[in-house]
């Protein structure tokens, strides 16, 4: 089922999510809804709190993005084991419709998480999939991409976003 995507500044986006205790049927239903919602919005990643569910679950599928390496994965209770390098990329976010901002992130991350069967998985991510993962991990920690900006860059991004919202509201 396609769910409604929560947009900033909803509280659920700025509050850290909770650890999943048991990967059960309910979680797998949530995962299915998250994939459907992400595909219908043409996104490449989605965190559960972006559909209003405050749990540490994310889905990623970079396949539709032609110039990126393919990664399709479900990550539950994910954490970064190690990170290296730095890379800057202009990111979008389904919870900030129309806004893109340039964010600096680690180039390579080693990730530990549970999969949809509740099994531990270790993943080494690099480049675009690593960027998407770090963006979604931030969501699960109640951090949005504008929080990665400082000072006037953050203020300008917020101002631009408010303007986009006002313009969207004016549409019939
Ligand atoms: Zn996002």
Q: Give the domain CATH number at 151.
A: 3.90.45.10
**Distance of CA 108 from the midpoint of ligand 1 (Å):** 19
How many domains is the chain built from?
1
**Distance of CA 79 from the midpoint of ligand 1 (Å):** 17
Closest CA to 82 of 54, 112, 56: 112
Q: What is the pLDDT of residue 64?
A: 81
Q: What is the pLDDT of residue 65?
A: 84
Residue 113 resides in a domain: yes
Residue 1 resides in a domain: no
Q: What is the pLDDT of residue 69?
A: 80
Is 66 tagged catalytic? Answer: no
Residue 3 resides in a domain: no
Q: Is residue 76 a contact partner of residue 62, using CB atoms and an 8 Å limit?
A: no
Mean pLDDT of 61-70: 86
**Distance of CA 29 from the midpoint of ligand 1 (Å):** 21
Residue 92 resides in a domain: yes
Q: Which residue range is the domain that position 64 belongs to?
A: 11-170
d(CA 61, CA 69): 10
d(CA 82, CA 170): 46
Q: Is the pLDDT of residue 6 over 90?
A: yes
Residue 79 resides in a domain: yes
**Distance of CA 119 from the midpoint of ligand 1 (Å):** 26
d(CA 81, CA 10): 29
**Distance of CA 136 from the midpoint of ligand 1 (Å):** 6
Residue 74 resides in a domain: yes
pTM score, whole prediction: 0.96
Out of 116, 119, 136, 167, pick the active-site residue.
136
Q: pLDDT class for 110, splitting at 50, 70, 90?
A: very high
Q: Give the helix/strand (H/E) hosting 59.
A: strand 57-61
Residue 44 resides in a domain: yes
Residue 76 resides in a domain: yes
Q: What percent of the chain shows pLDDT beyond 70?
A: 99
Q: pLDDT class for 3, splitting at 50, 70, 90?
A: very high
């Amino acid at each position: 089922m396609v769910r409604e995507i929560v947009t900033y500044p909803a509280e659920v986006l700025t509050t850290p999510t909770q650890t999943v205790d048991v990967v059960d049927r309910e979680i797998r239903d949530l995962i299915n809804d998250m994939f459907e919602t992400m595909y219908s919005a043409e996104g490449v990643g989605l965190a559960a709190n972006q559909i209003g569910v405050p749990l540490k679950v994310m889905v990623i599928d970079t396949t539709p993005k032609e110039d990126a390496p393919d990664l399709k994965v479900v990550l539950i209770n994910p954490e970064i084991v190690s990170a290296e390098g730095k890379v800057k990329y202009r990111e979008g976010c389904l919870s900030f419709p129309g806004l893109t901002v340039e964010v600096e992130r680690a180039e390579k991350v080693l990730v530990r998480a549970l999969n949809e069967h509740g099994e531990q998985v270790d993943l080494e991510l690099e480049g675009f999939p690593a960027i998407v993962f770090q963006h979604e991990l931030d969501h699960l920690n109640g951090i949005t991409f504008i929080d990665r900006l400082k000072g006037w860059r953050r203020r300008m991004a917020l101002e631009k976003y408010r303007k986009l919202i006002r313009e969207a509201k004016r549409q019939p």
